[in-house]
Amino acid sequence: MLLLMIFIMLRVVFLGTGGALPTVNRNPSSILVNRDGELLLFDCGEGTQQQMMRARTGMMSLSSIFISHFHADHVLGIPGLLQTLSFHGRDTPLTIYGPVWVEQFVKLVSLLGYCRLNFEVKAVPLEAGDVVQREGYVVNAIASEHSVPSLAYALVENERPGKFDRRRAEEMGVPVGPLYSRLQKGESVEVNGRIIHPNEVIGPSRRGRKLIYTGDTRPCEAILEASKNADVLIHDGTLAQEKADWARESLHSTANEAADVAKKAGVKRLILTHISSRYTDDSSVLLEEAKEVFEKTCVADDLMEFEVLYGE
């Protein structure tokens, strides 16, 4: 039987979901995305490499680290992770992206300890609006609103081919086999002296998946706009509404505010992270307040995994 649809894995693993103060239940911020075997980290709080071991995610296929900002709870896991990779024999370059100071940060990391890395670490500074091009997807840098220079990120897949109409192909006399694959690749084929074009048997292209990671931020227009129709929005949900004044002062978001962004953006699912230590034993108040605004919400826990599925 010929497989006509190719499914590419897009899995999110929450390695650290706590706020600035880690607890026994929540590590500092770190989110791993596995896209078809390529690993990307969004922030890297202390202990990230141990969390990767606990979650059995692997780490040698890590291609990039995207830093949202340079508060310690988002970057202190990088030195240990780099040394662990080197001890395991990594010899291919690793790229660290981030806002201003990323180049200085990488230089400082290289001076820590006495471990000489066996691979190159590249630093790439980003500004809001920059696009990192990858095979099959891009990562967009988005303006966020925090107390230091910061960025949110959007992983956006390329459009994927439309649905293959097997019944139509059979009616046109296309035999099952290699010609199906050629048509799906956009090639025209000849059958019994007749040229059959891909658009005769393949529907319109469909959008790829979109995943948003805000890092630490107040709700803001740039993130709202970037999140339009996203499959998953991973948003700062540090505090409950009773601490709304503190959220504004510290430039974080309440769960209720994050849910409002999700609702206005029309996302499919909201996942709250960067949970204050106040709620480490019971985050139900955050979930309840968010669900009052946006029902398809959950609060991330350390080592939680989530598969981002294709939409119709």
Q: What pLDDT shows up at residue 291?
A: 98
Q: What pLDDT shows up at residue 186?
A: 83
Q: What pLDDT shows up at residue 183?
A: 87
Q: What is the DSSP string of 215-255?
A: -S----HHHHHHTTT-SEEEEE--B-GGGHHHHHHHT--BH
Q: What CATH number matches the domain at 10-160+206-307, 3.60.15.10, 3.40.50.300, 3.90.1520.10, 3.40.630.30?
A: 3.60.15.10
* 69 marked ligand binding residue: yes
Domain with CATH 3.60.15.10 in the chain: 10-160+206-307
Identify which has the larger pLDDT, 65 or 201.
Answer: 65
Strand 94-98 and strand 270-273: the pairing is unpaired
* 73 marked ligand binding residue: yes
* 252 marked ligand binding residue: no
* 88 marked ligand binding residue: no
* N-terminal to C-terminal alpha carbon distance within the chain: 23
Q: Of the residues 36, 43, 73, 302, which is catalytic?
A: 73
pLDDT greater than 50 at residue 305: yes
Q: Which helix (H) or strand (E) holds 98?
A: strand 94-98
Across the range 230-250, mean pLDDT stands at 98
Q: What pLDDT shows up at residue 312?
A: 55
Identify which has the larger pLDDT, 117 or 312.
Answer: 117
| Whether residue 43 lies in the annotated active site | no
